[in-house]
Chains A and B, each alone.
Chain A
């Protein structure tokens, strides 16, 4: 698939002297959902802001659909819609006027039919004539989405779209994202939550301390690294495994009161039912069962921790 956004050797040092991005290289494929995962202060917003033209890069280039985002900013920016992280909206305009403003600002002729449909899709139509300051946080977020979509962009950036959003709106949001993707729009979103990236993204990038630590197809990532563990607690400890159980990929804990079963989280139940039946058959009694959380989180935590430790070490040396 051809890449729609291409980032080369991108660095950003803020006026304060802080290095927020360190030589980022990244290609976003046309039509994919890309999740940028990273802790607070990792540089996600900075990266997005540079691509969109809000912050100027200190070094490196960004091309969007083959155009340089500085020398050909008109061509790149009209393709992009941005939903910012903060609820940055005016106060006294009405919802309707503000989305008409956004559409015009991006150089598009007015199209009330499209905008009305957009408001309906986002359940905002009945708020059409309300002033922005009268809206709740969730509604404001919907307005920001409407503004970003008002000029029918080919690429959408969602900067932490689920922050401060209830379950309902989150579900709506993912529906909108999937529908946009189906219509050929490329989506780049940032998040702190691994489950979110797992749920929606095609590819995942992990960023920490201004460095891109890993970019991988979600399936490959989950397949290679995404093992899950089922922990089976036994009522009474055993000293060794029964013959029937040795066929499974099982490990007995040191105290002999836990069986640990590791399996690939991408395959459906991975023989868990079988295993549980066998356990019952050999006469072991269960006290409790639990699953160790998606180990993508562990990878993430490991990667980020490792990176932070490395940075600290460098800082100590300096």
Chain B
């Protein structure tokens, strides 16, 4: 095991966030505040409580997930894409470090960053609403699993992308719509039956539902299913990364 190697990759990635600390934290904090002002206060005051939870409170888990998903993907994909772009990746390829160790370094750093952002968002939210966490351990589990699996997903995108456009296209065209339609701002019970069924094909629904359950014990789908979906997604990502490594697809010539 090349522990030093993992350490320096992790450290370098964290350093990048540290040097741009203001941007790293300010953008999720500011956007959370904006969402609260617009949805929580302005519109939310006219919306009845959902399943006995006030609207302002109801959107907290979804908002957190929204930032977590986009930040995990953005951080991890950029972290591996940039060295590919500058060519400095040659050094990682020529180092006595395994693909697995490289992933621990990059994905570990990206997941840590999103975790910190997630916590900061929850703290920010607690200034607007009276936040109670019914099941802290479940909450932490969902938080951590989401950070890891979506950072891994971002890593795959970063490996796959060979230009800046490709780097942007999946977060923009796939992730953002899935999150917005994933019940961040509403309960899927509020939709007509047809759309409810369609929504069940959106994996983000399960994530947000499970995460929301850990706060308020209300959910669209059962928490066990939510956990299974997120674990399933994690294993799919691991399988893709394993396949990329084995075949050298987009990894080496």
Contact = CB atoms under 8 A, between A and B. Distances in A.
Contacts of B86: 88-91
Contacts of B8: 100-101, 103-105
Nearest to A51: B94
A93 B11 CA distance: 12
Contacts of A15: 253
Interface in A77-96: 77-78, 80, 82, 84, 86, 88-93
Contacts of B92: 105
B87 interface: yes
A107 B83 CA distance: 19
A54 B89 CA distance: 9
A97 to B, nearest CB: 7
A83 to B, nearest CB: 10
Contacts of B19: 92
Contacts of A105: 4-5, 8-9, 91-92, 95, 97
Interface in B77-93: 82-83, 86-88, 90-93
A104 B87 CA distance: 19
A280 interface: no
A88 B87 CA distance: 5
Nearest to A77: B96
Given A56-B252, A90-B82, A105-B5, A84 B96 contact: no
B251 to A, nearest CB: 10
B15 interface: yes
A106 B5 contact: yes
Contact of A89 (B4, B88, B93): B88
A123 B90 CA distance: 24
Given A14-B253, A104-B4, A107-B2, A54 B93 contact: yes
Interface in A127-160: 147
Instruction: Give the secondary structure class of A's interface.
Output: loop
B224 interface: no
Given A78-B96, A107-B96, A55 B252 contact: yes
A229 interface: no
A74 interface: yes
A107 B19 CA distance: 25
B252 A54 contact: yes
B97 A107 contact: yes
A52 interface: yes
A203 to B, nearest CB: 24
A101 B14 CA distance: 13
B117 to A, nearest CB: 20
B248 interface: yes
Contacts of A107: 2-5, 95-97
A179 interface: no
Contacts of B96: 73-78, 106-107
Contacts of B15: 97
A106 B93 CA distance: 11
Contacts of B4: 104-109
Given A97-B12, A105-B9, A107-B5, A77 B87 contact: no
A80 B3 CA distance: 19
A68 B235 CA distance: 32
Interface in B1-54: 2-5, 7-9, 11-12, 15-16, 19
A88 B88 contact: yes
Instruction: Select the residue from A52, A54, A89 with max chain B CB neighbours within 10 A.
Output: A54
Interface in B111-143: none
Nearest to B92: A105
A74 B101 CA distance: 12
Nearest to A79: B96
B85 to A, nearest CB: 10
A71 to B, nearest CB: 13
Contacts of A278: none
A77 B94 contact: yes
Interface string B54-95: 000000000000000000000000000011001110111111
Contacts of A56: 248, 252-253
B12 A101 contact: yes
18 contacts: A56-B253, A74-B2, A76-B96, A77-B94, A88-B86, A88-B87, A88-B90, A89-B86, A91-B86, A97-B15, A100-B8, A101-B9, A104-B8, A104-B11, A105-B5, A105-B91, A105-B92, A107-B2
Interface of A: 14-15, 52-56, 73-78, 80, 82, 84, 86, 88-93, 97, 100-109, 147
- 5 smallest A-B Cβ distances: which pairs? A88-B87, A104-B8, A77-B96, A74-B96, A52-B94
Given A74-B2, A89-B88, 19 more contacts: A52-B93, A52-B94, A54-B93, A55-B252, A56-B248, A73-B96, A78-B96, A86-B87, A88-B88, A88-B90, A90-B83, A100-B8, A101-B9, A103-B8, A105-B5, A106-B4, A107-B95, A107-B97, A109-B4
